[in-house]
Copies of this chain bind each other. A is one copy, B any other.
């Protein structure tokens, strides 16, 4: 097995960067127009403040999210997608398409 074709390390980094718990959902929330902290949090049930703050910092350090502070008053902070993140649109769209075909709707979502 010396000639085995290894899985690309860049693919491996990428899939885990966007698949880290909560990260994909946060990216999707920003993609769908939620740019303020409270909006992102409201769009993702179950996401704690600690986790959202940590993930936004990771997304910033990975170069996917840019934190923009507007001059006040009142000062407003918005989280915008970088060009690198905007290029993820085909990835997220294909996950949405796959999920709608293959992942069943949870029972509590059916009731609401």
Contact = CB atoms under 8 A, between A and B. Distances in A.
Interface of A: 1, 4-16, 18-21, 23-25, 28-29, 32-34, 38-39, 42-45, 84, 87-88, 90-92, 94-106, 109
A86 B12 CA distance: 18
A100 to B, nearest CB: 6
Contacts of A14: 95, 98-99, 102-103
A18 B29 CA distance: 19
A96 B87 CA distance: 12
A53 B5 CA distance: 20
- For the complex formed by this chain, how many copies does it contain in all? 2
A106 B23 CA distance: 23
B7 A96 contact: no
A99 B11 contact: yes
